[in-house]
Amino acid sequence: MEMTEMTGVSLKRGSVAVEDNDSVAPGEAKRQKVSECCPTKGQDGLENNSLPSGEKVPGPPKTAGEGKKNSDPQSEEEGEEDGLSEEGEEEEEAESFASMMKHGLTELDVGITKFVSSHQGFSGILKERYSDFVVHEIGKNGQISHLSDLSVPVDEEDPSEDVFTVLTAEEKQRLEELQLFKNKETSVAIEVIEDTKEKRTVIHQAIKSLFPGLETKTEDREGKKYIVAYHAAGKKALANPRKHSWPKSRGSYCHFLLYKENKDTMDAINLLSKYLRVKPNIFSYMGTKDKRAITVQEIAVLKITAQRLAHLNKCLMNFKLGNFSYQKNPLKLGELQGNHFTVVLRNITGTDDQVEQAMNSLKEIGFINYYGMQRFGTTAVPTYQVGRAILQNSWAEVMDLILKPRSGAEKGYLVKCREEWAKTKDPAAALRKLPVKRCVEGQLLRGLSKYGLKNIVSAFGIIPRNNRLMYIHSYQSYVWNNMVSKRIEEYGLNPVPGDLVLKGAAVVCIEEDDVNNYSIHDVVMPLPGFDVIYPQHKISEAYREMLTADNLDIDNMRHKIRDYSLSGAYRKIIIRPQNVSWEVVAYDDPKIPLFNTDVDNLEGKPPPVFASEGKYRALKMDFSLPPSTYATMAIREVLKMDTSIKNQTQLNTTWLR
């Protein structure tokens, strides 16, 4: 297959805001066993499937009653450790980030080397401007989720709007402290100034609605009426919203669409929990979404009214909640059908003919379904190297890869932590250098402090399971990328005898006389494991050679520790996006939005009008992708460029100034 020359795309820090669709589609888990290649965020998208060094280990919310099943390691950024959440930090860290990326990965390092189309590449800028990247979830019903309605369902059971204003700020503060057991008070008394039955009812409703777990009663004290709030059922009351106050006729879960800007799903849910004064684990969702994007996704929450949720629209910036409904069931990871993307590439250099050729190819042929760069981490130690060491049972190497000093720039406290570890091998001393203990390094050091250096397996086990599995999934992805590149190099873009295809629930090998019944879009390749078959041509031997070179036995992928045994999975090698459309627009001001968001449309904002000519040209693309695919890889195919941040840093560092 002929390789075409790569051209560059300029990206600013953090600008690869690309939603990986790494979630399991309904029915596919059994049919393709994709659960191994798409652990259930990221995904998204971790967000992504990387766990950057020094990032907090996410503690995802779990669907109520589901225990740990709804945890998702695909959320790449969390909390104050998300890298560049503030503008000031961005300027200070830009240069050090560029330095770090000099030691990062390129696509070549992770087996991403081929293209399917013959068009000439061109350059464009996927800016740091997160509003140039919009993700709409495709729900269980196959419909693209759009925030279109902020109204609250009419429900006679709901209290009046007065519940949000009847209590003073001081009273709310005292009630919150009571609810959270932050003081020694066993009750809080609120005087009823205008004593009417209606006023007392509103105060009762306000306390029970805003502070789950508190009960109320009316008392006479020295001729005055007081509403007294107290704990109904001890400390368990906070975790369990009031069951008896929820109408039986109403579904237990309030489903809503969450529109968010520049915030990942986990941070968003933690923030909603804080404002609602509930635990995050009463929320559920079908997939995590990236931070550096505008995203719309469905969320479900246990026994919180649409009225309370809608009230948050008055309090929160860059969030909107709407399209409320009450339903019987929560959401589960992997139930989504995929994601729809709207992406703007600014300042493109391609001619209209080049753009037309590139986009038609994306629409008709598609792109190679590589695992994107997010899957492999952003630091000098790729996640697949840790995964390989786990599979080799080389636990000292696992510890060393995670904790050793690294080339390039890191946050100062991480550098000090690593230096302390290298110098003393004292986990407690190294841990004291970390202000944030929830990062991977902190978790591992805590485990080493507890279990000792002779029991690294147990120490590593302190890290949440999905985050541990992410490392070995990264290794599987690394092997898969390399093998797909070899397959395309060897046999091109047509099915050949020996290729694998899905036939119902089974995976079968294409026979010589059956080749014409299939297209390249039917062909799948395995992620290595003990329960998959391999192609019956040269690529089977290539799998064996690659694993042998890594001191692994392809015939024995079971691990001494059950969690790290890989059954394997199958993944289509070419993906053809759906709902593909595009336009080239001219513009003069790099800062103006080039399309309306859902919120713009709700507010009646007219869509932008473009001149026939302008200083710059932009390519606006729309396309839908199924679960377990990467939008970066679709963009790579259009531009013919290396999507690694390292390459972008070398191509264009003007953003550093």
Which active-site residues does the annotation give? Answer: 290
Return the axis-axis angle of helices 631-639 and 352-364, rounded to nearest 10°: 140
Contacts 24+ apart (CB under 8 A), 235-239: 235/181, 237/212, 237/213, 238/179, 238/180, 238/212, 238/213, 238/279, 239/279
CA distances in angstroms from 653 to 9, 94, 95, listed in the order given: 11, 10, 9
Helix (H) or strand (E) holding 585: strand 578-587
- Calpha distance 413→322 (Å, rounded): 41
Helix (H) or strand (E) holding 417: helix 412-424
- Calpha distance 261→257 (Å, rounded): 13
User: 616: which 2 tokens?
Assistant: 């710059």
Name the nearest CA neighbour of 23 among 316, 284, 399, 337.
Answer: 337
- Calpha distance 380→389 (Å, rounded): 16
Name the nearest CA neighbour of 49 among 460, 470, 384.
Answer: 470
CA distances in angstroms from 96 to 283, 444, 545, 649, listed in the order given: 37, 26, 38, 12
CA distances in angstroms from 318 to 17, 132, 136, listed in the order given: 17, 15, 16
Cα separation of the two ends of the chain = 40
* 284 DSSP β-pair partners: 300
Q: Within 10 A of 349 (CB to CB), how many other CB atoms are there?
A: 13
Written as one string, the DSSP assignment of 241-297 is: --STTS-TTS-SEEEEEEEEES--HHHHHHHHHHHHTS-GGGEEES----SSSEEEE
One-letter amino acid for residue 400 of the chain: D
- Calpha distance 82→130 (Å, rounded): 15
- Which residues are CB-contacts of 415 (< 8 A; sequence separation ≥ 6)? 405
Residue 207 near residue 175 (C-beta atoms within 8 A)? yes
Q: Within 10 A of 335 (CB to CB), how many other CB atoms are there?
A: 18
Name the nearest CA neighbour of 429 among 446, 410, 451, 453.
Answer: 446
- Calpha distance 22→375 (Å, rounded): 10
- Calpha distance 353→589 (Å, rounded): 24
Angle, CA 105 vertex, CA 101 and CA 106 arms, to 5°:
110
Phi, psi at 617, each rounded to 5°: -125, 145
- Which residues are CB-contacts of 519 (< 8 A; sequence separation ≥ 6)? 495
User: 171: which 2 tokens?
Assistant: 């009273």
Q: Within 10 A of 359 (CB to CB), how many other CB atoms are there?
A: 20
